[in-house]
Structure 1
Amino acid sequence: MDGLNLLECCSPLAREPLGEADAAALARAFKALGDPVRLRIVSIVASHEGGEACVCDLTASFDVGQPTISHHLKVLKEAGLLTSERRASWVYYRVVPDRLAQLSALLSLSSEVAR
């Protein structure tokens, strides 16, 4: 996502219009977070001790089945919001901090632009 430079003072929305590819990629990430279960999954993973959570840690937090949790995890991974690592028979998930920073930077405005 070359259009998103996190070191700039202003978000890309305030600086210049997004290109089609950047807009499509960012829209996928926002759409993935638009589901309450997926938003909670990201929150649980991010706040879990060590910054990672096992699938077994996630399934206990929801009233949906494991296949549904797996689907939500797949959507979050495809949107670039989570990464995973298999260890023995369990899969551990971590939030991708740079991806969340991109989403945050896109929506933040400098004090000059916000006036």
Structure 2
Amino acid sequence: MSNTASLPLLETDEAAPCCPPLTSAPLSEEDSVRMAAMFKALADPVRLRLFSRVASHEGGEACVCDIQDVGVSQPTVSHHLKKLREAGLLTSERRGTWVYYRVAPSVLAGMAGLLTAAGR
């Protein structure tokens, strides 16, 4: 069973930004809302560490049991992981008693593309 309630980042599975690079044109209201949610989720140091642990974990997937040691309680870890899922940054899948997390498809390339200068 998969719990993937999130904001859509990309229309396809290709590694492309959801929005044009910031230097190419002003963001639309819709694009700015979508990107603000992602950056807001990553603005918390605990969330950023959890996201990094998932993204850098061997095989691109991490069990919550392997990444929860970030200096806060387990319920707080779950809260932060939920916020990352809601922002469209992570997907999750329950397997037995554990939940496994992955970075949402193309999210890193999409965010990098947004921040890349147009024409480079």
- The interval holding the TM-score normalised by the smaller chain is 0.7 to 0.9
- How far is 1:15 from its partner? 1.6
Percent identity over the alignment is 58
Q: Normalising by structure 1, what TM-score?
A: 0.82
Alignment-derived partner of residue 14 in structure 1 = 23
Bigger helix share? 1
- How far is 1:99 from its partner? 2.0
Alignment-derived partner of residue 56 in structure 1 = 65
> Which of 84, 87, 92 is matched with 1:76 structurally?
84
Task: Report the residue type matching 2:38 in the other structure.
Answer: A
In 1, the alpha carbon distance for the partners of 2:22 and 2:95 equals 40
3-state secondary structure, aligned to 1:84: strand
Q: Tell me, which stretches of 5 or more residues in structure 1 are unaligned?
A: none
- How far is 1:70 from its partner? 0.5
What number of residue pairs does the alignment pair up?
Answer: 107
In 1, the alpha carbon distance for the partners of 2:95 and 2:15 equals 33
- How far is 1:7 from its partner? 5.7
Task: Report the residue type matching 2:30 in the other structure.
Answer: A
> Which of 79, 87, 92 is matched with 2:100 structurally?
92
Task: Report the residue type matching 2:67 in the other structure.
Answer: L
> Over aligned residue pairs, what C-alpha RMSD do you find?
2.1
3-state secondary structure, aligned to 2:102: strand
Alignment-derived partner of residue 33 in structure 1 = 42
In 2, the alpha carbon distance for the partners of 1:96 and 1:7 equals 13
Structure 1 consecutive aligned stretches of length 4 or more whose deviation exceeds 2 Å: 5-8
Q: Tell me, which stretches of 5 or more residues in structure 2 are unaligned?
A: 1-9
Task: Report the residue type matching 1:21 in the other structure.
Answer: E
In 1, the alpha carbon distance for the partners of 2:43 and 2:32 equals 16
